[in-house]
Amino acid sequence: MKSVRPGLPEFDYIRAETIEQVSELLKNGKPSRLLMGGTDVFVQMRDGAFSPAILVDVKHLPGMQSIQKTGNKGLRIGAAVDLNTLAGHPEVVKSFPLLAEAAQSVASYQLRSRATMGGNLCNASPAADTAPAALVLEAILVAQGSNGERRIPAHDFFTGPGQNALQDGEILTSIEIPPPPKGPVGRYLKLGRNAEGDLAIVGVAVLGYADKTSESGFRFRMALSSVAPTPIRVPTAEDILESRTIGDETISAAAQAARKTAKPIDDVRASAGYRSAMVEVHARRALHAVWTALGREA
Amino acid sequence: MATHKISLTVNGVLEQAEVPSNMVLLTLLRERLGLTGAKNGCAAGECGACTVIMDGEPVNSCLVLAVEADGSEIVTVEGLSSESGLDPLQEAMIEVSGTQCGFCTPGVLISARAFLDRTPSPSEDEIKEALRGNLCRCTGYVRIVESVKIAAKGG
Ligand SMILES: Cc1cc2nc3c(=O)[nH]c(=O)nc-3n(C[C@H](O)[C@H](O)[C@H](O)COP(=O)(O)OP(=O)(O)OC[C@H]3O[C@@H](n4cnc5c(N)ncnc54)[C@H](O)[C@@H]3O)c2cc1C
Ligand code: FES
Ligand code: FES
């Protein structure tokens, strides 16, 4: 264990004002890294994970820090919106409380005043707390590169631990949340080692809503963090909840399906076996909470 | 390495400095401006000992570059007291002995000040939630929470 973290290695900081400037900087061949809140970048640099020649600060690009309504009650969230702003934004709290809850669960207030949703997603940690929410809300990640704009569905964005679908020279500029289904209820349950805003051992996001076209009369979306190489959706659990009459038994079956889908590993925070067991417990609790909030009894 | 001429307001005083890209705000405050209240506990955003207020919001100054603070307004623990006396939070800390070794105290005071400014009449749970990012290795949490309650009630 290192007792004292070294200072940051040398780099040139550049505050970018336009997308074109970023494209130019990324093309010049020098090892570079994009910067927003820096809460991942600086910690990883101090730990020696990488040492870029230039650090390109993209959080002041136009539109990066704003939240706007789109048609039909969707939202466009600038990639550099900080997590406190996100968690407290009236439109987010009203229409997408699940996302507010996920943002609020990250670390501490002072960390969240710098940490951004875009940085959380781009860092692509399996434990990223806003990722399960992005998955169940079926967010679209909007990227800009020298070839223009590319829209990447959240379920295609996470490609491995620390890996995302952005190509060289592309930057994430916003996250679009499509209009919510009617009367949705969402919950994000996070299990950490303590109440101090630790990274998740297991995170479960569930969104449920009534829908007459499904056999059970409801549709559910479930996503997990920290229990696979990337944050994942759980289609097997969703199918169970849509095809069987919902009650204790169906909820338990769906929670077991979540456990089967999870591919957890051992790490400093928990063993694979414990994670597996906790996926089931937390999936069940999240489903019960959503089911109750939909006004039903299990 | 590039250097940057920056100016920022620290505890109401306009400061100018030329800083290398890789200098963090905490180092600028402690080593250039001599404000040693904010502490380097972990340099990784975990302990909160380095917490300062930047443009009204508490931040971990170990994870903010000095150049990123260009043009901002910073308040450190040194800026909490004034001619007329200590901040009510500081008075309350003294009253209930909310500080032991004192290493976490500047960060706690800053987090709590920013918190009370946005939440004047907090519940105990809200206080604990707001101080989640401030670790006290002497584990004097009960009295820390107590002092925030007293300060919220107006001392
Ligand atoms: C003490 C501590 C506790 C933490 N706790 C949690 C937690 O509980 N839950 C959690 O999910 N995370 C946690 N984190 C991780 C981190 O705070 C979050 O992932 C945060 O949201 C990252 O956002 P940022 O703006 O700081 O990103 P940055 O550090 O600025 O960037 C993150 C990554 O994205 C890249 N990047 C930045 N901007 C762009 C862009 N526009 N386009 C493409 N790539 C880009 C960067 O190069 C970097 O690789 C914690 C971190 C610390 C230090
Ligand atoms: S020194 Fe900044 S959080 Fe510990
Ligand atoms: S008083 Fe010693 S760390 Fe808090």
pLDDT digits 0-9 by tens, A253-283: 999 999 999 998 888 888 889 999 999 999 9
Chain A residues with CB inside 8 Å of B133's CB?
Answer: 107-111, 196-197
So what's the pLDDT on residue A21? 93
Query: A109 and A207: one domain?
Result: no
B51-54 and B57-60 as β-strands: parallel, antiparallel, unpaired?
antiparallel
What's the rounded Cα separation, in Å, for the pair A18 and A158? 26
Domain boundaries, given as residue ranges, for chain B: 3-79, 88-152
In a domain, A186, yes or no: no
In a domain, A271, yes or no: yes
A171-177 and A140-145 as β-strands: parallel, antiparallel, unpaired?
antiparallel
Closest CA of chain B from A226, distance in Å: 20
The domain in which residue A131 lies consists of 67-177
Query: A73 and A48: one domain?
Result: no
How are the residues of chain A apportioned to helix, strand and coil, as percentages rounded to the nearest 5? 35, 25, 40
Query: A48 and A75: one domain?
Result: no
B54 pLDDT more than 90 = yes
Interface contact flag, A196 B60, Cβ < 8 Å? no
- Report the number of distinct structural domains present in chain A: 3
pLDDT tier for residue A297 given thresholds of 50, 70 and 90 = low
Mean model confidence pLDDT for chain A: 94
So what's the pLDDT on residue B72? 98
pLDDT tier for residue B66 given thresholds of 50, 70 and 90 = very high
pLDDT digits 0-9 by tens, A210-261: 999 999 999 999 999 999 999 999 999 999 999 999 999 999 999 999 999 9
Query: A27 and A83: one domain?
Result: no
So what's the pLDDT on residue A197? 62
Query: What's phi and psi for A99, nearest 5 deg?
Result: -70, -40
Closest CA of chain A from B24, distance in Å: 8
What's the rounded Cα separation, in Å, for the pair B135 and A131? 27
Instruction: Find out if CATH 3.40.1180.10 is the number for domain B3-79.
Output: no
**Residue A233: CATH number of its domain:** 3.30.390.50
Kindly state if the Cβ of B137 falls inside 6 Å of ligand 2. no
What's the rounded Cα separation, in Å, for the pair A147 and A137? 27
Query: A24 and A74: one domain?
Result: no
Nearest CA in chain B to A107: B133
Q: Which helix (H) or strand (E) holds A260?
A: helix A248-261
DSSP A40-69: THHHHHHTTS---SEEEE-TTSTTTT-EEE
Q: Where are the alpha helices (DSSP H) in chain B?
A: 25-27, 88-95, 105-118, 124-130, 141-152
pLDDT digits 0-9 by tens, A64-105: 999 999 988 899 999 999 999 999 999 999 999 999 999 999
Chain B residues with CB inside 8 Å of A53's CB?
Answer: none
A203 pLDDT more than 80 = yes
What's the rounded Cα separation, in Å, for the pair A204 and A189? 5
DSSP A69-112: E-GGG-EEEETT-BHHHHHH-HHHHHH-HHHHHHHHTSS-HHHH
In a domain, A30, yes or no: yes
What's the rounded Cα separation, in Å, for the pair A248 and A158? 32
Kindly state whether A43 is in contact with chain B, defined as any CB-CB distance less than 8 angstroms.
yes
What's the rounded Cα separation, in Å, for the pair A237 and B46? 36
Query: A167 and A208: one domain?
Result: no
In a domain, A163, yes or no: yes
Query: A100 and A45: one domain?
Result: no
Query: A257 and A216: one domain?
Result: yes
* Alpha-carbon distances, residue A213 vs A209, A210, A235, A298 (angstroms): 12, 9, 17, 21
Closest CA of chain A from B108, distance in Å: 11
| pTM of this structure | 0.96
Higher-confidence residue of A2 and B99: namely B99
In a domain, A184, yes or no: no
Kindly state whether B41 is in contact with chain A, defined as any CB-CB distance less than 8 angstroms.
no
In a domain, A185, yes or no: no
Query: A73 and A162: one domain?
Result: yes
**Residue A75: CATH number of its domain:** 3.30.465.10
Nearest to B125 by CA among B115, B139, B135: B115
pLDDT tier for residue B100 given thresholds of 50, 70 and 90 = very high
- Sheet with A12-15: list strands edge to edge: A12-15, A54-57, A32-35
Kindly state whether A13 is in contact with chain B, defined as any CB-CB distance less than 8 angstroms.
yes
pLDDT digits 0-9 by tens, B16-39: 999 999 999 999 999 999 999 999
A196 pLDDT more than 60 = no
Number of C-beta neighbours around residue B78 at 10 A: 17
Ligand 3 atom nearest to B49, measured from its CA = 3
In a domain, A231, yes or no: yes
The three-state secondary structure class of A159 is strand
pLDDT, average across residues A15-29: 91
What's the rounded Cα separation, in Å, for the pair B99 and B85? 19
So what's the pLDDT on residue A1? 44
What are the beta bridge partners of residue A219? Answer: A209
A267, A257 contact by CB (below 8 A): no
In a domain, A194, yes or no: no
Query: A75 and A115: one domain?
Result: yes
CATH topology of domain B88-152: DNA polymerase; domain 1 (1.10.150)
Find the A111 Cα to ligand 2 centroid distance in Å. Answer: 10
What's the rounded Cα separation, in Å, for the pair A97 and A188? 9
